[in-house]
Amino acid sequence: MNKISPDDFLLANEMQLIFDKQMNFEPVRGNLKQWKGYVGTIEGTDIPIFANIYVQDGFPEVPPFVDITPKINHPNVDDDGSLSLRILVEWQASFHIYQIIEDIKKLFETVTAKTYKTKAKKAKRDERHTGLTISKIPIKELPQVSLASSSSPQMVAEKRNLDDSIVEYQSEIQNISREIEDEREALLKEGGIAFEAKSKEITISREEDLQAEFVAIQGTLEVVEEKFEDGDMTNIEYLKLHKRYTKKGFIAEKQLNQVKTKSSGDMTKGDERILDLEADLFASIATLNTLIEGYEDNEIEQIAYRKQLRALIRAIFKTRLQLEKIGFNLEAFLRREGIEKKYPKGIKQLRNAEGVETTESVSIPFDTLKKMPSKTADFVSSAIELIDLTRLKSVARADLLLADIDEMLHILKTFPSIPKDHWAIDDMNNWKDIISKYNPQDVIKEEDCEKLEFQAARWLNDFRRLLKEL
């Protein structure tokens, strides 16, 4: 008898709670990591609204993410369907999926959804942001159906057809690596690669195997990009997958080059560890570049930008701390991989975060930074967001600026060895008084933006200096 894994038991428990406490929600084709259900209607119509809840790896420590179909106009729903909800932002491991469903229903009861106003679709970028050459993979188009009436037999049939199409599409994406593997085998056959008669398996070399893996990752990145541009994927999901597969692609490419240049492709455990860390740093910079471009093009909204900026800065700091222990040289790495040319905006933001050692500024001392790396990353992230908001000016809302200053103040006051009367603390409090005179949703004056941008850069440089003195 097969043993039930802890994850399966956890999901089964969530299923029981949903069935006990909620109506109209069910797993998609029995998949307990994807739930779909009715949460309301569009204002003035009978068109139903459905919520899709996706349970991510690491649940319950990692919150699920939610998107809404069909497209609607609602203050909590992005153009890509991504739903912003307090319970997801303040998620705790003790929370449950049925509580998310309750909050979604209450939200649409309190603030009604309006009919979506179609916007002109933005042209797809000619260049991908993965650093890899992308191979085109045909994507099946979903059939278009109308949502006429939530109670009519026609509506029920159309909804069932739509669900079936979505499931079929998702299944196709999940199996994309297997399909590419089949194509690889066919190509190998055409190339005259021999088969073993008994096992009927292809005899392939390590190089051929790595080449196939590299092509499969390229194909997956293409699918991820297509899904995001077609509105089938949330901002946060896209950025996470972008980083994951960019890292996999970097590793596969380096392993392939290793095999090509050496008679033995074996790596030591130490070499593999260094490769994994360098791949993580490369993928973080690449994804940071994509995040900034999306934010500047208004494709990524403020909440997603703030969350992902912090996650990426934390990841970069964590990786840098580990790399410094083995004598890592960042500048040599950037030159070797051509990162500055591939990801100029990501590098610029990395420079803002880590700093550059000059006569007027200092850099974060990763070789000696041992304590509180998370708080350090959070302070730097808040400062960068503050600089971005004031630099762009048009998005420099008073409430957003105050949130960043409050976080920086809290970190300074609780950081070891920083005096309570430090000049930056007094300066931040003065700026809080200035910005508090605005209404929360007001964009502050251009002259205040310029002054605050300058001060935020000073606070960040001074914080890096304080780290060196700890």
Domain check: are 83 and 147 in the same one?
no
Q: Mean of the pLDDT values across residues 236-262? A: 86
Domain check: are 143 and 104 in the same one?
no
From 314, 345, 375, the end of a domain falls on 314
Least confident of 106-115, 150-159, 207-216, 310-319: 150-159
Q: Mean of the pLDDT values across residues 169-192? A: 55
Domain check: are 111 and 209 in the same one?
no
Per-residue pLDDT at 438 exceeds 60: yes
User: Which pLDDT belongs to residue 425?
Assistant: 93
Domain check: are 67 and 156 in the same one?
no
Residue 258 within a domain:
yes
User: Which pLDDT belongs to residue 200?
Assistant: 38
Share of the chain above pLDDT 70, in %: 77
Question: From CA 287, how far away is CA 308, in angstroms rounded?
Answer: 9
Domain check: are 36 and 176 in the same one?
no
Q: Mean of the pLDDT values across residues 433-442? A: 94
Q: Mean of the pLDDT values across residues 228-252? A: 85
More confident residue, 455 or 3: 455
User: Which pLDDT belongs to residue 325?
Assistant: 85
Domain check: are 36 and 152 in the same one?
no
Domain check: are 259 and 132 in the same one?
yes
Domain check: are 94 and 184 in the same one?
no
User: Which pLDDT belongs to residue 84?
Assistant: 87
The whole domain housing 166 covers 125-314
User: Which pLDDT belongs to residue 126?
Assistant: 41
Question: From CA 110, how far away is CA 372, in angstroms rounded?
Answer: 41
Per-residue pLDDT at 371 exceeds 70: no
Distances (CA, A) of 85 to 27, 101, 232, 304: 21, 11, 19, 12
User: Which pLDDT belongs to residue 291?
Assistant: 92
User: Which pLDDT belongs to residue 21?
Assistant: 75
More confident residue, 148 or 105: 105
User: Which pLDDT belongs to residue 197?
Assistant: 37
Average confidence score pLDDT of the chain: 79
Residue-wise pLDDT tens digits, 257-302:
888 776 555 678 888 899 999 999 999 999 999 999 988 888 888 8
Residue-wise pLDDT tens digits, 339-357:
999 999 999 988 888 887 7
Domain check: are 174 and 303 in the same one?
yes
Domain check: are 269 and 375 in the same one?
no
